[in-house]
Every structure is written in structure tokens, then in C-alpha cells.
């Protein structure tokens, strides 16, 4: 970005009215400014690998991040106004991810010294506070949760992310996946949590992010996706794609792309036959692509997201994953 002088032109004109600069000096100063500009572009911190963890996408469309550094976070115990009837401990965490501090709520069940833990990703537009109803239910089952405020509250713009991808810049969806990975590191670092018993649960678009994060983090035992599905890009013949780069990007954000590398982590899908946002047919298509071990459960409400009728299936599968 160019910078404009902030001084007053009139005062400068007077100050330099009696000074003349030779042509060689002007040439040298111009050359020096060009060198400084080139140096600034090449060594701009925003372009350096140290400014944020780099990322790569394979030719097949698989996202990759290098090994993550130790998590950096602050933590503060707060009043539980969301489920005051529980004996839980609720903490507000702030952790660093790609140069930003993200907020999360850590809910720890009472009377547990080493709880299994879940990274909990809400659906698009849902805050960490609004997700505490499900977090409290999970706590009653004996599971700690770390619930994120995802960037943009999980709302995405695929078109904008494609523009960023083509420009060599990091799409927001990639950053959201990395945030989920960092959240799993933060959860594992808590003294009340058993780092050997961790999984990830996501609703709707949070479920899509969760699938990618689980595939990229072998320490997670599995993923539970509620009211979620992939995008179905595997049905597009890559040789017929009008825009190969766009096709590679779409594959990279499609959960369906990652099932070959998800195992041995288990994929559990819970969906309504009458989902009002993501059709049951979409969910079935994604489940068919998943490798073993996997399980699918269905309910009948005409709704989208977690419902009380899903609890028995959730409790059953979490016991199999983490106990």
C-alpha cells in the first residue's frame, strides 16, 4: 500500500525554496526508493511464512497444514448462567490461531478428574453461548466440551474463498479448519481432560469443518456429524471441469474428499429424514462414501440440528468412541 506524506506542502516549499538537487542525486534517490519498495514486498511480514502457519492443497484437492506449534491460551473460570442446575465448571478461553485470538467455552463435568473431551463446532450463525444447551447435555453424559466461536460465526462465502484461493491467499474455510485443529490442541492441554480420549462434534456447517479437522488430526478418535453432509464434488468429472483451479478448491473444502484418510477414526452421522436445510438424500450420499468404521442414525422431526430424539444415539456412540 502507498503512503502519503502528512506534512504541510506550503511549509515544505518554504523550507526547501533555496535548495537545488542535482540530477545524479535524483536518479540515485529514485533507484534507492525502487530497491526499498522491492525489499518491502519480498519481506513484508504478511507474506512471510512466520506470519501465519502455511497451507497446501494437493493436486487431488486435499488440504494440508504443517505441524502445529504448542497452543497459546488464557483461561478464566466464569459463572455458568447457561446450565446453573449442573455442577459443571465453566471457563472462558482465549487462544491464538493464525494471528487472531479466538474465544471458546470450556465446560467440565462435575465429579470428573479426567474427562474425555469433545471439540464442539456450532452450525453457521450459532455462537458458543447458544450451543451451551447441547454442551450441558454432553456434560451430563460425562464429556467435557470446548465450544468455539468460529470465525464469522461459521458463516462462509464459497465465492469469496475461491477468489482468495486463486489469488494465492488463504480462504476463510481453511482458517476455520485450522482453528478447529488448534482447539483440539488447547483441549488436550487442559489438566482436567484425558488427551487420549478426544473427538470432535459438529452441527450443520460445523460438521463439515469437523470432518476435515478429524481427517487432519490423527489423535482424534472420531467425528460425530449432526445434520451435515458433503458437497458432492466427487460427482463432477475433473477432466470436464471448466476451471481446474476452481475444481481443486471445491474438492479441498468438501468433506467427501477426506473419507479415504479419515479411518481409523470413526464417522458417525445423525440426521433427520425431514431435515429442512440439508436433505436426507445428501446425508445418505456422504455416508455411502465414508469408510468403515461408521454408523448412521435417523430421526423424523422436520427440523435442522440437534434434537432430544438424537440423544440415545449420541450417548451410545460417544461411549463407543471415548470410553
Confidence (pTM): 0.83
Residue 310 has pLDDT above 70, yes or no: yes
Q: Could you give the dihedral angle defined by the CA atoms of residues 78, 189, 133 and 216, in that order, rounded to the nearest 10 degrees?
A: 150
Q: What local confidence, expressed as pLDDT, does residue 241 receive? A: 76
| 88 half-sphere exposure, CB direction, 13 A CA radius | 30
Residues, the chain: 323
Q: pLDDT grade, residue 235 (50/70/90)?
A: confident
Instruction: Tell me if residue 19 falls in helix, strand or coil.
Output: coil
Q: What local confidence, expressed as pLDDT, does residue 242 receive? A: 86
Helix axes 172-188, 158-166, angle to 10 degrees: 100
Residue 92 has pLDDT above 60, yes or no: yes
Greater model confidence, 85 or 2:
85
47 within some domain = no
Range of the domain at 87: 65-322
Q: What local confidence, expressed as pLDDT, does residue 26 receive? A: 34
At 212-231, the pLDDT tens digits run 999 999 999 999 999 999 99
90 within some domain = yes
Greater model confidence, 112 or 123:
123
What average pLDDT does range 153-180 have in this prediction?
96
End-to-end C-alpha distance for the chain, whole angstroms: 54
Q: pLDDT grade, residue 239 (50/70/90)?
A: confident
Parallel/antiparallel/unpaired status of strands 56-57 and 193-203: unpaired
DSSP characters over 118-131: EEEEPPTT--TTTT
21 within some domain = no
Q: What local confidence, expressed as pLDDT, does residue 34 receive? A: 37
CATH number, domain at 255?
3.40.50.1820
22 within some domain = no
Q: pLDDT grade, residue 53 (50/70/90)?
A: low
- State the average pLDDT for the chain: 86
Neighbours of 295 (CB within 10 A): 18
123 sits in the region (left: phi over 0; alpha: psi -120 to 50; else beta) called beta
229 within some domain = yes
Q: What local confidence, expressed as pLDDT, does residue 272 receive? A: 98
Residue 2 has pLDDT above 60, yes or no: no
Greater model confidence, 186 or 40:
186
Residue 121 has pLDDT above 80, yes or no: yes
**Which whole-number Å values give the CA distances from 216 to 56, 180, 190, 260, 300, in the listed order?**
12, 10, 21, 12, 32
How many structural domains does the chain have? 1
What average pLDDT does range 172-182 have in this prediction?
98
Residue 273 has pLDDT above 90, yes or no: yes
For residues 64 and 58, is the Cβ–Cβ distance under 8 A?
Answer: yes
Which has the closest alpha carbon to 75: 92, 100, 97? 92
Q: pLDDT grade, residue 77 (50/70/90)?
A: very high
280 within some domain = yes
Residue 261 has pLDDT above 80, yes or no: yes
- Percent of the chain exceeding pLDDT 70 equals 84
Q: Take residue 1 and report the three cell numbers written for it.
A: 500500500
Residue 27 has pLDDT above 70, yes or no: no
What average pLDDT does range 306-312 have in this prediction?
98
35 within some domain = no
267 within some domain = yes
Q: Which of 25-34, 102-111, 144-153, 230-239 has the lowest mean pLDDT?
A: 25-34
Amino acid at each position: 500500500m502507498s503512503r502519503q506524506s502528512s506534512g504541510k506542502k506550503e511549509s515544505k516549499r518554504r523550507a526547501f525554496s533555496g535548495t537545488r538537487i542535482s540530477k545524479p542525486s535524483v536518479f540515485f534517490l529514485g533507484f534507492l526508493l525502487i530497491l526499498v519498495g522491492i525489499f518491502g514486498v519480498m519481506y513484508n511480514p504478511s507474506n512471510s511464512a512466520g506470519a501465519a502457519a502455511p497451507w497446501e492443497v494437493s493436486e487431488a484437492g486435499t488440504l494440508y497444514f504443517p505441524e502445529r506449534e504448542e497452543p497459546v491460551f488464557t483461561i478464566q473460570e466464569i459463572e455458568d448462567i447457561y446450565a446453573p442446575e449442573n455442577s459443571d465448571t465453566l471457563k472462558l478461553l482465549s487462544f491464538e490461531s493464525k494471528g487472531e485470538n479466538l474465544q471458546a467455552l470450556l465446560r467440565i463435568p462435575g465429579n470428573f478428574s479426567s474427562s474425555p473431551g469433545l471439540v464442539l463446532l456450532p452450525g453457521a450463525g450459532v455462537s458458543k453461548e447458544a450451543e451451551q444447551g447441547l454442551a450441558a447435555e454432553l456434560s451430563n453424559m460425562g464429556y467435557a466440551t470446548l465450544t468455539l466461536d468460529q470465525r464469522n460465526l461459521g458463516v462462509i462465502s464459497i465465492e469469496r474463498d475461491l477468489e482468495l484461493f486463486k489469488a494465492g491467499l488463504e480462504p476463510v474455510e481453511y482458517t476455520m479448519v485450522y482453528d478447529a485443529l488448534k482447539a483440539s490442541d488447547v483441549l488436550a492441554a487442559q489438566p482436567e481432560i484425558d488427551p487420549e480420549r478426544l473427538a470432535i462434534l459438529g452441527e450443520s456447517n460445523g460438521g463439515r469443518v469437523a470432518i476435515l479437522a478429524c481427517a487432519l488430526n490423527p489423535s482424534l478418535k472420531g467425528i460425530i456429524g449432526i445434520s451435515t453432509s458433503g458437497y458432492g464434488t466427487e460427482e463432477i468429472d475433473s477432466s470436464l471441469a471448466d476451471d481446474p483451479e476452481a475444481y481443486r478448491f471445491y474438492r479441498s473444502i468438501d468433506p467427501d474428499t477426506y473419507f479415504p484418510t479419515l479411518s481409523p477414526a470413526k464417522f458417525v452421522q445423525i440426521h433427520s429424514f425431514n431435515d429442512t436445510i440439508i436433505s436426507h438424500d445428501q446425508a445418505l450420499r456422504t455416508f455411502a462414501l465414508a469408510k468403515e468404521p461408521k454408523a448412521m442414525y435417523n430421526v423424523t422431526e422436520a427440523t435442522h440440528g440437534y434434537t432430544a430424539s438424537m440423544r440415545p444415539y449420541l450417548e451410545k456412540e460417544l461411549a463407543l468412541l471415548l470410553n
